[in-house]
Amino acid sequence: MNNKVENFKNYIKNKKVAVLGLGISNTPLIKYLMGLGVNITAFDIAEESQLQHTILELNKFGIIDYYLGKDYLNHLAGFDIIFKTPRIRFDIPELEAERQRGAVITSEMELFMELCPAQIIGITGSDGKTTTTTIIFNILKEAGYKCWLGGNIGTPLIDKVEEISKDDKVVLELSSFQLHTMKQSPCVAVITNIAPNHLDVHKSMEEYVDAKKNIFLHQKNDNIVVLNYDNPITRSFTGESNGNVRYFSRLHELESGCFIKKGVIVCREGGIDKEILRVEDIIIPGVHNVENYLASVAVTADIVNPDAVKRVAWSFAGVEHRNEFVKEVNGVKFYNDSIGSSPTRTIASINSFDKKVILIAGGYDKKIPYDSMGETLVEKTKSLIIMGQTGPLIEKALNDEIFKKGSRIDC
């Protein structure tokens, strides 16, 4: 029996609850709460015509009041608990007013972490967090653990919390939006790296970094935080965590931690090196994926046999939409890297190829700098097709580098 769940059921059964956002994370939350007999009002900026399928699905579970459309927050008043979707900022005036009145502002992920009886391994970072999350999950599963995969990877687990036992392992991908207001941290926290990202939502780079740090700031003394030694920002977190710090590095031999020695990923502890995996056995291409395995090994090396890591490395072909091979047409290979929505991730993906590529790039502007792409575009791209809001920013990065080096590509 999970006492935390039973206490929560007793706590919430007579509360007036609002759920902001009818997206991926909150729909299972609403179903779970409705199953507990909770009085729910749902809010979403989308119009009813855009949410017909979701509304029909939720109506199977009972009666919900809805406030939809551009003025949906005008009706947010008088609630005991408000669950917000991750992308809604915590400090908008409507939420501030309810907070001042005494409402509890929380989220599906915060509730899940509070109720989950199992050890949670949380992964965040600007790049590589989805792949690293999936590798860790696969390694643990291969080693025989009963595992649950969820979070920002697209699988909410709140409606499964009563099925999870204390002996299971839960692996969560956590975004900066989910972490922004988090007041507890997972037992094992991983930060793959940090670079500018999501500055269209976060007010500053400092706020973005502070959100990421919540993954370890609330840890206990016996918890673990895994940090990228090669990333200056994550390395600077040393000393801020209550937990034990484990480093991983692709570029340096560490006194303690996971690194590469003569082509082999090793873990060093107490001066003793434990060989885990040959780099050449990793079938997904790119040095960034070597880093993802280093982070994963840092988490799992002391609880799984290296053979489990090897079996995953030999078989795991990567995550969908991340440099994913699509098709070969007339000798041309097409790859889908549509989730690579930051300059650092795009650079890493391009560098995973040993030939120059034709790159189709551009999309939504997250207010992050693109100048770092210039050198890679000139050196590793033979043709560039740009589009969307970020197209001009990518073109400027290219042209600035061309002016600097006197090179050119077709654009």
Whether 311 has a pLDDT exceeding 60, the answer reads: yes
- H/E stretch holding 56 reads helix 52-59
Average pLDDT, the chain: 90
pLDDT of res. 2: 78
Of 122, 85, 128, which Cα lies nearest the Cα of 342? 128
Average pLDDT of the segment spanning 206-232:
96
Residue 292 · residue 173 · CB < 8 Å: no
Beta strands in 26-115 (DSSP E): 39-44, 65-68, 81-84, 104-106
Structure confidence by residue, pLDDT tens digits, 41-52: 999 999 999 999
Rg of the chain on CA atoms, in Å = 23
Two tokens at 51?
């949410």
Q: What does the alpha-carbon distance between residue 363 and residue 388 come to, in Å, rounded to a whole number?
A: 4
pLDDT of res. 144: 97
Pairing between strand 272-278 and 264-269?
antiparallel
Q: What does the alpha-carbon distance between residue 15 and residue 8 come to, in Å, rounded to a whole number?
A: 11
In the chain the domains, ranked by start, together with CATH numbers, are 3-106 (3.40.50.720), 110-315 (3.40.1190.10), 324-405 (3.90.190.20)
Distances (CA, A) of 279 to 139, 291, 359: 16, 10, 27
pLDDT of res. 97: 95
Residue with the two structure tokens 């199977």: 60
Residue 121 · residue 190 · CB < 8 Å: yes
pLDDT of res. 339: 67
Two tokens at 384?
């560039």
Whether 410 has a pLDDT exceeding 70, the answer reads: no
Of the given ranges (30-34, 56-60, 163-167, 371-375), which has the lowest mean pLDDT?
371-375
Q: What does the alpha-carbon distance between residue 230 and residue 193 come to, in Å, rounded to a whole number?
A: 8
Whether 368 has a pLDDT exceeding 90, the answer reads: no
Whether 409 has a pLDDT exceeding 60, the answer reads: no
Residue 42 · residue 152 · CB < 8 Å: no
CA 191 to chain centre: 10
Pairing between strand 257-261 and 104-106?
unpaired
- H/E stretch holding 400 reads helix 391-405
Cross-strand bridge partners of residue 365: none
Structure confidence by residue, pLDDT tens digits, 341-356: 777 778 777 877 777 8
Whether 280 has a pLDDT exceeding 80, the answer reads: yes
Residue with the two structure tokens 């929560």: 8
- H/E stretch holding 404 reads helix 391-405
Higher pLDDT, 399 or 316: 316
Structure confidence by residue, pLDDT tens digits, 284-296: 988 999 999 999 9
- Number of Cβ within a 10 Å radius of residue 47: 12
Question: Taken in order 223, 292, 257, 276, is the CA torsion positive or negative?
Answer: positive
Two tokens at 10?
């007793």
Q: Is residue 162 packed enough to be buried (19+ CB in 10 Å), middle (13-18) or exposed (0-12)?
A: middle
Structure confidence by residue, pLDDT tens digits, 99-147: 999 999 999 999 999 999 999 999 999 999 999 999 999 999 999 999 9
- Per-residue pLDDT band for 54 (boundaries 50, 70, 90) equals very high
pTM of the model: 0.85
Residue 173 · residue 188 · CB < 8 Å: no
Residue with the two structure tokens 């409402």: 103
pLDDT of res. 344: 73
Q: Helix, strand, coil shares of the chain as percentages rounded to 5?
A: 35, 25, 40
Starting from the edge strand earliest in sequence, which strands make up the sheet with 272-278, in order? 147-151, 169-173, 119-124, 188-191, 224-228, 244-248, 257-261, 264-269, 272-278
Structure confidence by residue, pLDDT tens digits, 157-188: 999 999 999 999 999 999 999 999 999 999 99
Residue 113 · residue 184 · CB < 8 Å: yes
CA 145 to chain centre: 22
Structure confidence by residue, pLDDT tens digits, 268-278: 998 999 999 99
- H/E stretch holding 205 reads helix 205-217
Pairing between strand 81-84 and 272-278?
unpaired
The pLDDT > 90 percentage for the chain reads 67
The pLDDT > 70 percentage for the chain reads 96
Whether 309 has a pLDDT exceeding 80, the answer reads: yes
